[in-house]
């Protein structure tokens, strides 16, 4: 499944789930977002592997979330589902002796579990969030393989205004997962940032 295929599905789920936003339901907010990420990869293993020079690549990120009310007016538990492309670039010597830049991108289904805290109340609400994530590799493209799943962390901040929102998040793998590796490679770690915009519906708006 690609970001283009996932986007209409998330919007349809957002519309269908609006009746859940009632006073008797712990669901506080529903939303979807679209964004771009800039990521790179670090290699774990022998010194030659650790010294591989890698650059950043751009990729898409599409996701949806459900915010669950926690004790306190400004605290929520956010469960997310995100499609994200992560990878790296690297300069290699071609057969003609010239330097060429190659890019590798993997597609993941990420399931972040985040704690969100609203810094202010009102129509314009800045907030911060953070928590762990579990990821499943959907498709792979690159020289050095990665394992089927890995764990990571998401940290970020954003702002909501009426039904619109924007956030910036830092993502990093916590596991040194790898599969089909060359000799000397123990694992790979992806890390980078994602800038996203989205729309959301809160229980207050429904009421």
For the chain (207 residues), the mean pLDDT of every run of 10, in chain order, is 55 50 65 92 61 78 89 85 86 61 82 92 90 87 63 94 93 69 60 94 66
For the chain, the domain total comes to 1
Strand-pair partners of 198: 33, 165
**What is the pLDDT at residue 21?**
47
Pair 57, 190: CB distance under 8 Å: no
**What is the pLDDT at residue 49?**
53
**What is the pLDDT at residue 26?**
74
Beta strands in 94-184 (DSSP E): 99-118, 124-139, 149-161, 164-173
Q: What's the domain range around 111?
A: 3-206
**What is the pLDDT at residue 23?**
47
C-alpha 57/C-alpha 39 separation (Å) is: 6
Q: Which two tokens stand for residue 170?
A: 């830092």
The CATH number of the domain where 55 resides is what? 2.40.160.20
**What is the pLDDT at residue 84?**
92
Residue 144, φ and ψ in degrees, nearest 5: -105, 115
| 3-class secondary structure, 3 | helix
| 3-class secondary structure, 27 | strand
**What is the pLDDT at residue 194?**
97
Q: Which two tokens stand for residue 164?
A: 């619109």
Bridge-based pairing state of the strands 99-118 and 124-139: antiparallel
Q: Which two tokens stand for residue 14?
A: 């957002």
Q: Which two tokens stand for residue 201?
A: 């519906």
């Amino acid at each position: 499944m690609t970001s283009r295929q996932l986007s209409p599905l998330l919007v349809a789920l957002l519309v269908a789930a609006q009746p859940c936003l009632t006073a008797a339901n712990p669901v506080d907010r529903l939303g979807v977002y679209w964004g771009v990420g800039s990521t790179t990869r670090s290699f774990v293993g022998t010194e030659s592997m650790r010294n591989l020079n890698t650059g950043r690549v751009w990729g898409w990120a599409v996701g949806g979330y459900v915010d669950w009310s926690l004790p306190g007016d400004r605290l929520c538990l956010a469960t997310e589902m995100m499609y994200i492309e992560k990878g790296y670039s690297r300069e290699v010597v071609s057969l003609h002796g010239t330097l060429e830049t190659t890019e590798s991108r993997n597609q993941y289904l990420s399931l972040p579990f985040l704690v969100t805290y609203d810094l202010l109340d009102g129509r314009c609400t800045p907030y911060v969030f953070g928590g762990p994530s579990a990821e499943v590799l959907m498709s792979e493209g690159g020289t050095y393989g990665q394992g089927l799943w890995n764990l990571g962390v998401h940290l970020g901040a954003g702002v909501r205004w009426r039904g619109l929102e924007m956030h910036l998040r830092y993502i990093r793998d916590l596991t040194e997962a790898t599969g089909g590796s060359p000799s000397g490679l123990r694992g790979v770690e992806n890390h980078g940032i994602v800038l996203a915009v989205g729309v959301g519906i809160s229980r207050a708006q429904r009421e």
